[in-house]
Structure 1
């Protein structure tokens, strides 16, 4: 019996690393795809030292060819592809009057183009495989900011709304091919990306480091920020057979910040 195979973009650290650590425990072989090859290799070696199968691949997700390379690495090393997790993302704190083409290109390039190109590469491979009625999975990273836009995070929010739209459209298009498409929508997750947001918020507003986190945590029903493990637990469900009848959904996993 072969293991399932997953590609996770942006998996060298943060939420992506948490997802990789969870999926190998679920029986997946994983491709750690990241722009930072050194850290990706460290993550892959960490998983391999525990007896799991993992490889690291470098690439810029805003480039469609990079996703094709990720898929080739998965097939060459593990023989197939079952799940593609479009996790890689960037955030930038800026007020609307200060938004420029450079920041738009950067965030839309990674967050939106990266998701679309990832879905295309996954779809192409899934169609090649003779999997019968087996359900294959595409899992995208949206956000609470994809359900409700936040001030100082307008462009980031716009990209996450776009990912929800692509998730819904792809779910409708790909259903006939036994491919489901869903997305996860985290809130505050204690990762290097959050540390960046905290620092940028502090620089702009003059607030002390930690003040933004403290104030935002008060809006969380469960009264704590989430960890990468919290998000990975839900992605584990989306990547499992238990979610085979679920598609086109963008689910909040935020400890109770928003209620939709």
Structure 2
């Protein structure tokens, strides 16, 4: 799938890997919807995308909230004239021994890393079906999704889960 003139949505686009993904997509010709909890971060990345001659739009959302993920995709279609690609990139990690992780920390990382990815898969698939078009769903993972790491036990578990969701979605 060539991405020239396609619309891509990237979660966690306000910094780091998400920023890099958004800029690469823009360099390859896509318009980009930048989604993050950090409005200043996505505003800065939007300026970088526009400096490359591509369209950018921003949407502040917490991907752990299913309704916000659906709204972000609707907004991408509205502001950028379509929706073709989602990159479920947003995620968090904790560096902590398993013996010390609290229930609240486990819940937070699972909601963002696993449920956030699932909501992105669901929302994108629904939009592609509604638009009667094919599209791309890309889920960012980690080496921690292939090999559990000390002090990153819960994070590793979430990335194993993202791999499983990706494999299951591909088979559906």
Give TM-score scaled by structure 1 length: 0.63
Q: TM-score when scaled to structure 2?
A: 0.95
1:141 alignment counterpart:
140
Moved more, 115-124 or 45-54: 45-54
Over residues 172-224 of structure 1, what are the superposed CA-to-partner deviations in whole Å (9 max), with x where a residue is unaligned?
A: 01xxxxxxxxxxxxxxxxxxxxxxxxxxxxxxxxxxxxxxxxxxxxxxxxxxx
CA distance in 2, matches of 1:25, 1:49: 10
Question: Where does residue 155 of structure 1 map in the other structure?
Answer: 154
Distance 1:50 1:82 in 2: 20
Question: Which structure 1 residue ranges, 5 or more long, are not aligned?
Answer: 174-260
The runs of 5 or more residues in structure 2 that have no matched partner are none
State the secondary structure of the residue aligned to 2:34.
Answer: strand
1:35 aligns with 2:37: yes
In the alignment, the residues of structure 1 paired with residue 110 and residue 6 of structure 2 have an alpha-carbon distance, to the nearest angstrom, of: 30
Q: 1:134-183 CA deviation, whole Å, 9 max, x = no partner?
A: x411000111000000011000000000000000000001xxxxxxxxxx
Aligned length: 169
Q: Check the 8 A contact 1:88/1:110 in 2, yes or no.
A: yes
Inter-partner Cα distance in structure 1 for 2:52 and 2:125: 31
Contact 1:80–1:129, Cα closer than 8 Å, also in 2: no
Q: Map 1:211-250; keep pairs closer than 5 Å.
A: none
Distance in 1 (alpha carbons) for counterparts of 2:88 and 2:26? 17
Which aligned runs of 4 or more in structure 1 are off by greater than 4 angstroms? none
1:57 aligns with 59
